[in-house]
Amino acid sequence: MKGAIAPLVLLAALGGCDLSMSHQPRHKTFDSATLWDGGPPAAPPPAGTVPRDALGRQDALDNPPPMTLALLERGRDRYGIHCAMCHGSTGAADGPVVQRGFPAPPSYASDKVRALSARQIVGVIGHGYGIMYPRDEVAPRDRWAIAGYVKALGLALAGDETKPGAQP
């Protein structure tokens, strides 16, 4: 009797198997879908919503960190990653991109750039200026670090002109 029940149980179990669970329709990222007419498989954010970190980012942009040696060293590191390809490693507007024919940005030794405040430099990093495109991927604290380093490069490029008591 036991031998006759086992094949019946096995037959009943196999009858419940089908491929509907393993072959299901799915939406691929950024594909058009029928979920929203002609739209992506995810709904767009509702109007008026603010990204999660937007308020913290704005606060970090509005309130500069104290300028320390560690922050300047961070600025030198971030400058090398985000800025040196156009502005050059010393800020003399002689980066590799410029050497290959791209228009040169102003030198950090120029009066116009040296007159910029750190806050204005942070704004240029975030919004761009002239042919420089915005670098929104740079975190707010790193923007302040780069701005401090740019100010230091401007002073170094200007040489003796900025020392107290120097004759113009």
Q: Can you give the pLDDT of all 168 residues of the chain as single tens digits?
A: 666 787 777 777 766 666 666 666 666 665 655 555 655 556 677 888 887 778 888 899 999 999 999 999 999 999 999 999 999 999 999 999 999 999 999 999 999 999 999 999 999 999 999 999 999 899 999 999 999 999 999 999 887 454 444 433
Q: Tell me the torsion sign for CA atoms 156, 162, 164, 168.
A: positive
SS3 33: strand
Q: Which residues contact 119 (CB under 8 A, 6 or more apart)?
A: 64, 147
pLDDT score of 163: 47
What does the pLDDT look like over 8-56, one tens digit per residue?
777 777 666 666 666 666 666 656 555 556 555 566 778 888 877 788 8
CA-to-CA dists, residue 22 to 6, 18, 19, 50, 163, angstroms: 27, 8, 5, 38, 74
* DSSP-derived secondary structure letter, 7: H
C-alpha 109/C-alpha 99 separation (Å) is 19
pLDDT score of 6: 77
> Token digits for 118?
């750190």
Q: What is the largest CA-CA distance in the chain?
A: 113
pLDDT score of 53: 78
pLDDT score of 4: 74
pLDDT score of 41: 58
Nearest alpha-carbon partner for 39 in 27, 48, 47, 51: 27
Task: Output Rg (C-alpha) for the chain, integer angstroms.
Answer: 30
Phi, psi for 129 (deg, rounded to 5):
-160, 135
Contact of 67 with 78, CB cutoff 8 Å: no
Nearest alpha-carbon partner for 110 in 166, 155, 168: 155
